[in-house]
Structures are given as structure tokens and as C-alpha cells.
């Protein structure tokens, strides 16, 4: 399995093409006074697009990202892009961290230094990690899969080979949220010989429609999820069923792509409706630009379809690998501890006092401290 260094370098012609497209944006009408009730609103999207066209410096962001050592590894005929930073400490613990949708490896750029060099950021050198931060297949600089079947379970198997066969870590720990949380949980369930412990921002979803022993908190959680799906979940249904139809518009319209992604960053972060109170325009646009320049919005959405139409896993028993489920209060995946305990035999449960879906970017110090504390017992 080959590994080669990787440097991001977007051609000048693509930067010029993006600027031209942004300048030709055809804005939709919207009803006065409706705010974000119907979805992305021009009150943010118009200044954001103007900033993208006139002020956003991709080359500066490119240089910032390239400051992290990046590589491409071929794993089972799929090229995987990843950051790999060695820890500064007496015995760094190997850690794979996995992003979700609509995010990218760039979400982790704030937290990686806190994990690899904790002594320089208020921690202890003995808590250092060797951090591996891959891009999901078909997300950003991990090339688009060329055949069906790239499910969340398939990615889980690739991660094990990346960590063990490619990078030489016989055992490791894992963290993730959103899609990355599901992969992290699958690592714990299916690869207990390689995975020491996990730190996940989601609990495995369960069908409790026939359960008779639900607690009041679990009943409230089930009801909350149903209401959330009815109000917020249309994106997921579209991406699970007809992602290709949506891809035509989002792959062609830079403004449309930004609206589809940024609406979720606003809705899912702990920002009280003001996404710019949590992220700068440059942070938001760096993530959007990664999708734009790599043309991976279609393939990223396709993972929803692949996973929904893949073979269904029927867990035979609780996950034995020690797990910490660390949730945010604004997170769709929040759940009571008794719900999470249905999936994990050895569970630690925690709620973050602040932050949302993109916690590594919103509250990197908080998340890093929780990860250091949890994994300390497994070194």
C-alpha cells in the first residue's frame, strides 16, 4: 500500500472560474420577514458570496492547510487523503479522528495542535497523540469512489487498514462526530482487536418502536428525533434517495453550494442563529471551497445513499470496547445515558456545556481536554 506526500495546489484557472461564477450569481426571490424559516437567507448569503468573490484569500487558507503534513495512501484501490501529525510526548497514543457532513478535515485544524502537543496548550506531554485525520472517500482531497458500495461500514474497514497496514499502528483509539461518529462506533463494534477505546459524539441509532422498557427520557428523545426529522431532516432524505439530482445544481453553482452547506453550519452550531458569532466568513468559505475545488459535493452526498441502501447490520451484542459518548446540548444526536447504554457495555457519558455539531471547530479546547482525560486510562 503506497503512501505519498500531498500538497494542496488549486490551479489559478479554477480561482478565476470561481470568481466569474460568483459574479454571475442569480439570486432567488424570498418572502419579506421570513428570515431563515424557508432555508438559507440572502441576509447572510449575499455578503458571504461577495466576500468569497472579492476578499477571500484561498491561497492564504491553502498555505495554512499545507502547514500540516498531508499524504495520500492507496487502500484497497481507494486513494485516501489524510493529515498525519506525530505527537510531542514520551509515548504518543495513535488516534484517528473522522469528520462528518457537510464538513471536512479542515474542521480539525484547531484541535490537532492541542492533541499532538498538549504541553504547549495547557496540558501535559504524556497526553500527546499521534493524530491521523483522513478525508472521507469522496470528500475533499480523497478522490471520488468510482463504483457503488462506499458505505460507512466500508470506510470503517479502510480506516483499520490505513492505521494498521499503512501506518503501522497495531492498536489505536478513535474519535468522530456525525458520519465520523458512526464510523468510530463501528470501529469499536467490529474491530476490537485493533481499537483500544473510542470517543464518539453520537450514540448508535436504535429502533425502539417495539421496546416496552423505555424510560421517560428515552421517550422524550424518540419524540425529539421524530420532530427534528420532520422539521430539519429533508436534506438527509434527499441525499439518501436522489443525491445525483441535487448534485447537478450544487456542483455547478458556487452560491448554491455555499447555501446548502452554510445553512447547516448555522442550524447545527451553537450560535443562536448568528453563525458569524461562531465562525468567520473565511472559516466557512474554506470548508465550502474544499468541496467546490474538488467537486466532491455529489460524492459526499452519495455516501448517504450508499449507507442507506447497503446491507443492514444487526448487532448481536453490546459493544465491549470502552466508549465515551460526549454530546452537545444543541446536537441532534444527543440522547439520555440509558439510551447509549443499550449499545455499549463499558460506557462513559458526558454533555458538553457549550458548542454544537462542529465542536472541534467551535470549542477545540473543551473537546481536546475531554479527549485527553478519557483516553488517559488507555495508554
- Assign 379 to helix, strand or coil: coil
Active site includes 178? Answer: yes
Q: 97 has which bridge partners?
A: 175
Using CA atoms, how far apart are residues 239 and 154, in angstroms rounded to an integer?
18
Q: Angle at the Cα of 359 (from 325 to 10), degrees rounded to 5?
A: 125
Active site includes 207? Answer: no
| Residue 340 CA: distances (Å) to CA of 214, 225, 323, 355, 358 | 12, 15, 10, 20, 21
Sheet strands side by side (includes 195-200): 3-6, 70-75, 78-85, 129-134, 93-98, 172-176, 195-200, 323-328, 347-352
Using CA atoms, how far apart are residues 116 and 135, in angstroms rounded to an integer?
19
Selecting among 169, 235, 291, 304, the annotated active-site residue is 304
**Residue carrying the nine cell digits 438559507:** 40
Using CA atoms, how far apart are residues 335 and 351, in angstroms rounded to an integer?
10
Question: Minimal CA–CA distance to 107: which of 272, 269, 277?
Answer: 269
Selecting among 79, 127, 130, 178, the annotated active-site residue is 178
The DSSP secondary structure of 148-212, one letter per residue, reads S---HHHHHHHHHHIIIIIT--SSEEEEE-THHHHHHHHHHHH-TTTEEEEEESSPPP---TT-S
With contact defined as beta carbons under 8 Å apart, do 74 and 1 qualify?
yes
Selecting among 270, 291, 357, 370, the annotated active-site residue is 357
Question: Minimal CA–CA distance to 361: which of 319, 328, 320?
Answer: 328
Active site includes 357? Answer: yes
Residues 6 or more apart in contact with residue 130 via CB below 8 angstroms: 84, 85, 86, 87, 92, 93, 94, 95, 116, 169
Q: How many CB atoms lie within 10 A of CB 60?
A: 11
Instruction: Show which residues are catalytic.
Output: 178, 304, 357
Amino acid at each position: 500500500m503506497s503512501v505519498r506526500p500531498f500538497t494542496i495546489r488549486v490551479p489559478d484557472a479554477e480561482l478565476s472560474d470561481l470568481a466569474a461564477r460568483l459574479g454571475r450569481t442569480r439570486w432567488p426571490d424570498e418572502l419579506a420577514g421570513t428570515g431563515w424559516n424557508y432555508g438559507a437567507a440572502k441576509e447572510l448569503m449575499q455578503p458571504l458570496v461577495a466576500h468569497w468573490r472579492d476578499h477571500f484569500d484561498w491561497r492564504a487558507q491553502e498555505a495554512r492547510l499545507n502547514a500540516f503534513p498531508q499524504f495520500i495512501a492507496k487502500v484497497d484501490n481507494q486513494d485516501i487523503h489524510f493529515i498525519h501529525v506525530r505527537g510531542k510526548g514520551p509515548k504518543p497514543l495513535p488516534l484517528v479522528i473522522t469528520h462528518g457532513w457537510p464538513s471536512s478535515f479542515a474542521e480539525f485544524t484547531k484541535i490537532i495542535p492541542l492533541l499532538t502537543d498538549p504541553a504547549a496548550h495547557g496540558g501535559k506531554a504524556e497526553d500527546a497523540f499521534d493524530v491521523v485525520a483522513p478525508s472521507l472517500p469522496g470528500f475533499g482531497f480523497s478522490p471520488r469512489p468510482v463504483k457503488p458500495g462506499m458505505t460507512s461500514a466500508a470506510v470503517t474497514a479502510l480506516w483499520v487498514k490505513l492505521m494498521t497496514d499503512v501506518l503501522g499502528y497495531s492498536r489505536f483509539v478513535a474519535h468522530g462526530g456525525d458520519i465520523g461518529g458512526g464510523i468510530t462506533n463501528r470501529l469499536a463494534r467490529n474491530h476490537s482487536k485493533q481499537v483500544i477505546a473510542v470517543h464518539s459524539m453520537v450514540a448508535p441509532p436504535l429502533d425502539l418502536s417495539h421496546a416496552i422498557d423505555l424510560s421517560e427520557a428515552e421517550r422524550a428523545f424518540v419524540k425529539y428525533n421524530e420532530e427534528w426529522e420532520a422539521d430539519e431532516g429533508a436534506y438527509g432524505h434527499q441525499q439518501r434517495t436522489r443525491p445525483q439530482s441535487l448534485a447537478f445544481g450544487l456542483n455547478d453553482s458556487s452560491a448554491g453550494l455555499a447555501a446548502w452547506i452554510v445553512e447547516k453550519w448555522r442550524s447545527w452550531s451553537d450560535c443562536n442563529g448568528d453563525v458569524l458569532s461562531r465562525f468567520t466568513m473565511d472559516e466557512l468559505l474554506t470548508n465550502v471551497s474544499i468541496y467546490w475545488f474538488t467537486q466532491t459535493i455529489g460524492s459526499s452526498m452519495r455516501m448517504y445513499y450508499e449507507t442507506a441502501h447497503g446491507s443492514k447490520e444487526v448487532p448481536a451484542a453490546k459493544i465491549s470496547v470502552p466508549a465515551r459518548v460526549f454530546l452537545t446540548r444543541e446536537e441532534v444526536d444527543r440522547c439520555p445515558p440509558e439510551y447509549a447504554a443499550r449499545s455499549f457495555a463499558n460506557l462513559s457519558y458526558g454533555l458538553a456545556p457549550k458548542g454544537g455539531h462542529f465542536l472541534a471547530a467551535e470549542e477545540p479546547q473543551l473537546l481536546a481536554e475531554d479527549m485527553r482525560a478519557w483516553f488517559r486510562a488507555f495508554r
